A and B are shown apart, each in its own frame.
Chain A
């Protein structure tokens, strides 16, 4: 069902200058709990921004507030410079794909897609033509007359995407649209969302708790924590230069090792590593090191292999150092360490983020 991606279908909407969305100091409280606490974010024209964060961090609230499904308690939301805070959902001109399957069960896929056009009083013939084109864009042109219960989960979300885009909305809102799907379909649809988003050049807000999704789909990723953005940047920036250990932990995997900062370098097991933030004051720290920044070597740090798991394109191996510290590293599948084997590892020398020991244990390991 997925053979059409590369043969770039004609997009239904002409590529047009995208829309700028700006959140300024948005506050939203739910019975005393602040879901958004002075939330600021700008979506540039045609940009796809992923809101990434653990559950309860306020990411879905931010999206729902933009959609008008929740009201704001303070702050403003502007679309192309015009405040939309007081505008009802139906007038905001947004396309939205929901986490749960949201197709209208009494309508066929085509009629679902036509729904938004019908609301805009478009003539039946044009409605049908545009709905068909939109379904073709998601590769389901031959499913026009199917009903939701006759479609797989992935197909339903495709139809939902077609339905959201057929009206050529100013902004596309994706509320964890892939989380109900199984792994393979999730990756396919994720890539397809990215392709369509790029083709249409539509400003997009993508909410997810899955870091892989966020990194793969977005131009910029905003990591949220407790109602606010902890760091926003390109996927590369977030991954290689995490501002805080929370980010380092949340985006990608990290080894957390005791170390020492001295004269703008981190010292770990006798190796001196550059710092992401050279202004870090001297003292004992916890160092976050990416699993791919540790490699097997002929000599160096002695370790024993605990386990090694095959992950398809790469392999993840867990090691125990002489002092009992557990390290895990990622490497090519050709190297195949056996449990119990004695090996040597080295740090590659990539810059690391650190956290002062006094304030340690802020974030738990996320994977």
Chain B
């Protein structure tokens, strides 16, 4: 084991500095949300505030013009699940295989995975349109097929999240140890590698969900309905309700991420890597 530890602790910012940074960041995030809430509560041109629009929306039970938003939300959630599945079932096994068996391919894999971030979504769509013509012929034009495209767009983020975790774990030795103890490849993957890469996998899944729920360009240009495209449609009819729905979508995404975090971390403990600092630094 190397005796070196990444010593970021020595220069950690003081409590006040941390509070200030957190406060500033919090305000930056809060301003648009507060503004949105304020907007939905406006009583009209005369001024004053009330909750009429919220009440109206909930009393109508999301029927009528707002119905498509619910459907679109369902679409987006399905897409998020599909994208996460692509990351889990395709990206992670590939990365592990390259890491353990074909380390020389690592640079190539990294290049391929990072590439999508350099390509604007609108350019991506130009290339994807003919591909989706074929996809539509083979698999139909269901919304879920968008997950393939989203799988590509989340690749850079998911790759970085998982790779940083992979670098911190001695995958090769752990794998060999498990193999000598009688574990087949399935057990190695599920009982040894996944638990130790949980943080990276979760981070990758978070990012995938967040990216998909906020995606507009590709869905819009490929004429699929997802949450963002539906919100745009509604906003043209009723901007107030569109903002309310945006807020609800935001809360929903927040809850979703919270749930994923809970599910993925059944046993929280200080799984910090060994630090071999002895005595005063």
Q: How many residues of B contact A (CB 8 A)?
A: 28
Among A53-78, those with CB < 8 Å from B are 67-69
Which residues in B have their C-beta under 8 angstroms from that of A95?
A: 180-181
Among A141-164, those with CB < 8 Å from B are 147-149, 153, 160, 163-164
Complex Cα spacing A160 to B170, Å: 15
Q: A167–B173 contact, CB under 8 A?
A: no
Q: A102–B269 contact, CB under 8 A?
A: no
Task: Count CB-based A-B contacts (< 8 Å).
Answer: 86
Q: A100–B170 contact, CB under 8 A?
A: yes
Which residues in A have their C-beta under 8 angstroms from that of B187?
A: 119
Q: B196–A115 contact, CB under 8 A?
A: no
Stretch at the interface among B25-33, B70-78, B84-92, B270-278: B270-278
Which residues in B have their C-beta under 8 angstroms from that of A118?
A: 191
Complex Cα spacing A167 to B180, Å: 11
Q: B195–A102 contact, CB under 8 A?
A: no
Known: A119-B187, A149-B272, A149-B274. A102 touches B174 (CB 8 A): yes
User: Which residue of the partner chain, among A102, A119, A149, A173, contacts B182 with CB atoms under 8 Å?
Assistant: A119
Complex interface bits, B167-207 against A, C-beta within 8 A gives 1, otherwise 0: 00110011011111111100100011001101000000000
Q: B183–A104 contact, CB under 8 A?
A: no
Known: A104-B192, A105-B273. A69 touches B176 (CB 8 A): yes
Q: B273–A100 contact, CB under 8 A?
A: no
Residue of A nearest to B183 (CB): A119
Q: A148–B181 contact, CB under 8 A?
A: no
Which residues in A have their C-beta under 8 angstroms from that of B183?
A: 90, 115, 119
User: Which residue of the partner chain, among B176, B184, B271, contacts A105 with CB atoms under 8 Å?
Assistant: B271
A100 to chain B, nearest CB (A): 5
Q: Decide if A89 is an interface residue (CB 8 Å cutoff).
A: yes
Which residues in B have their C-beta under 8 angstroms from that of A94?
A: 180
Which residues in B have their C-beta under 8 angstroms from that of A163?
A: 177, 181
Complex interface bits, A85-110 against B, C-beta within 8 A gives 1, otherwise 0: 00011111111101011101110000
Q: A167–B181 contact, CB under 8 A?
A: yes
Which residues in A have their C-beta under 8 angstroms from that of B170?
A: 100-102
Q: A147–B269 contact, CB under 8 A?
A: yes
Among B240-276, those with CB < 8 Å from A are 267, 269-275
Which residues in A have their C-beta under 8 angstroms from that of B269?
A: 147
Q: Decide if B10 is an interface residue (CB 8 Å cutoff).
A: no
Q: B182–A101 contact, CB under 8 A?
A: no
Among A109-135, those with CB < 8 Å from B are 115-116, 118-120
A256 to chain B, nearest CB (A): 35
Q: Decide if A180 is an interface residue (CB 8 Å cutoff).
A: yes
A65 to chain B, nearest CB (A): 13
Among B217-253, those with CB < 8 Å from A are none
B122 to chain A, nearest CB (A): 43
Complex Cα spacing A105 to B165, Å: 13
Q: Decide if B131 is an interface residue (CB 8 Å cutoff).
A: no
Q: B272–A116 contact, CB under 8 A?
A: no
Interface centre among B174, B180, B192 (most CB of A within 10 A): B180
Chain A at the B interface: SS class? mixed
A261 to chain B, nearest CB (A): 49
A178 to chain B, nearest CB (A): 13
B27 to chain A, nearest CB (A): 37
Q: Decide if B281 is an interface residue (CB 8 Å cutoff).
A: no
Complex interface bits, A11-32 against B, C-beta within 8 A gives 1, otherwise 0: 0000000000000000000000
B253 to chain A, nearest CB (A): 29
Which residues in A have their C-beta under 8 angstroms from that of B195?
A: 104, 106
Q: Decide if B1 is an interface residue (CB 8 Å cutoff).
A: yes
Which residues in A have their C-beta under 8 angstroms from that of B179?
A: 68-69, 88-90
Known: A105-B169, A105-B196. A67 touches B180 (CB 8 A): yes
User: Which residue of the partner chain, among A90, A101, A106, contacts B1 with CB atoms under 8 Å?
Assistant: A101
Residue of B nearest to A163 (CB): B181
Which residues in A have their C-beta under 8 angstroms from that of B191?
A: 115, 118
Complex Cα spacing A292 to B180, Å: 43
Complex Cα spacing A42 to B43, Å: 91
User: Which residue of the partner chain, among A68, A92, A98, A120, contacts B177 with CB atoms under 8 Å?
Assistant: A98
Known: A106-B196, A147-B269. A116 touches B173 (CB 8 A): no
Q: A101–B274 contact, CB under 8 A?
A: yes
Complex Cα spacing A90 to B186, Å: 12
Which residues in A have their C-beta under 8 angstroms from that of B198?
A: 106
Complex interface bits, B149-178 against A, C-beta within 8 A gives 1, otherwise 0: 000000000000000000001100110111
User: Which residue of the partner chain, among A89, A100, A147, A180, contacts B180 with CB atoms under 8 Å?
Assistant: A89
Q: A90–B274 contact, CB under 8 A?
A: no
Complex Cα spacing A297 to B120, Å: 87
Q: B182–A90 contact, CB under 8 A?
A: yes
Known: A116-B181, A148-B274. A104 touches B173 (CB 8 A): no
A184 to chain B, nearest CB (A): 14
> With contacts A90-B183, A105-B196 known, what are 14 further pairs, Cβ within 8 A?
A88-B179, A98-B173, A98-B177, A100-B170, A100-B173, A101-B1, A101-B274, A102-B174, A102-B177, A115-B191, A116-B182, A149-B272, A173-B180, A180-B1
Instruction: Write 19 A-B pairs (CB below 8 A) sorted by A numbering.
Output: A68-B179, A69-B180, A89-B180, A93-B182, A100-B173, A101-B274, A102-B170, A104-B192, A106-B198, A115-B181, A115-B183, A116-B181, A120-B182, A148-B274, A149-B270, A149-B271, A149-B273, A163-B181, A164-B181
Which residues of B approach A to under 8 Å, CB–CB? 1, 169-170, 173-174, 176-184, 187, 191-192, 195-196, 198, 267, 269-275
